[in-house]
Amino acid sequence: MVIVMGPGATREHIDALVDLVTSAGGEAYVTRGVSRTIIGLVGDVRQFETLDLRAMPGVSDVLRISVPYKLVSSENQPGRSTVSVGGVPIGGDNMTVIAGPCAVETPDQTLESAHMARAAGASLLRGGAYKPRTSPYAFQGLGETGLKILADVRAETGLPIVTEVVDAADVDLVAGYADMLQIGTRNMQNFALLQAAGEAGRPVLLKRGMNATIEEWLMAAEYIAQRGNLDIVLCERGIRTFEKATRNTLDISAVPVAQSLSHLPVIVDPSHSGGKRELVLPLSRSAIAVGADGVIVDVHPTPETALCDGPQALVGEDIPQLAEAAATLSPLVGRTLTAAPEPVGAGV
């Protein structure tokens, strides 16, 4: 059950509702969005039906939602959500490109990658400072040093940062640098991490687990939303199947399915799904054509020397093609390519 508060609801109104639900033996989780506040109720619904919730001050509506992912469900919010990341919108009528190196290696490599991203039409910079890897001997990222590099590059290019967090203990540190926290495929069901990210005060990019169903993916998003954060973007990044010709199998049907079940924006990662440079552009085009709210793409100035996922990174000659695809295909599906912010101090 979900309580939707009206625009004039005060903190006292919300506190009174939380106290009432608690006194009835339930739990109440408050989620404050841009335009409204929602209170999700946990407990025996029969207990709540004895309460006259609609008569409480500040209440706009009380919804009994059939699906288990109540806050992120389209039943809760029929319209599509737009998430703002450092002033850059994802969702609505926008098609947003996120690009950058899979891993932050050096200041020069990150800055050059950011310039490539911007030339490709990207308005957000992705880059990993913490890298959960299959092998414990593979490059694991630069940690806070990598975050500082990203912050310096953001200051020079104006591109807000999307970067991964892998441990609940690191959420506050990463949130201090990042504009958006990324939860990777291996951590999609790390519930402590999801809850910590939900409390961090930053938008969250939630990648689908490689073995996860769409419902499990949405339930993971619910963990974040339940902690008061509905600024969530879902990312389809390929699932594990029997096919070995690609790194993963891009489930392109997951985009319209997730958009029908949830109000959250849905983007696609063509780099980690295909795993090969020559597949990234075709998969990017298919993502835009199917109506994805954006794509997140790996770029690297010298992928042959990359410390992480070099074979899937786009290079300089690919950048004009990605820019053209984003600019020309987006209007065909009723979207506008999101413009990149200007660097700080531009025009001064």
Name the CATH architecture for the domain at 2-63: 2-Layer Sandwich (3.30)
β-pairing, 88-91 vs 82-85, is antiparallel
Residue with tokens 């919804």: 63
Please state, for a pLDDT cut of 70, what percent of the chain lies above it: 97
Class of CATH domain 82-337: alpha beta
Cα separation, 49 vs 53, in Å, equals 8
Residue among 51, 52, 54 at smallest CA distance from 43: 51
Please report the beta strands in 201-335, taking only residues with DSSP state E, as ranges in sequence order. Answer: 204-207, 232-236, 266-268, 294-298
Residue-wise pLDDT for 126-181, tens only, equals 999 997 767 776 777 899 999 999 999 999 999 999 999 999 999 999 999 999 99
CB 209 within 8 A of CB 236: no
Average pLDDT across the chain, whole number: 93
Domain with CATH 3.30.70.1140 in the chain: 2-63
Beta bridge mates, 236: 268
pLDDT of residue 348: 35
Would you say the pTM of this structure is higher than 0.85?
Answer: yes
Cα separation, 114 vs 301, in Å, equals 10
Residue-wise pLDDT for 172-230, tens only, equals 999 999 999 999 999 999 999 999 999 999 999 999 999 999 999 999 999 999 998 99
Domain with CATH 3.20.20.70 in the chain: 82-337
Residue with tokens 């410390």: 307
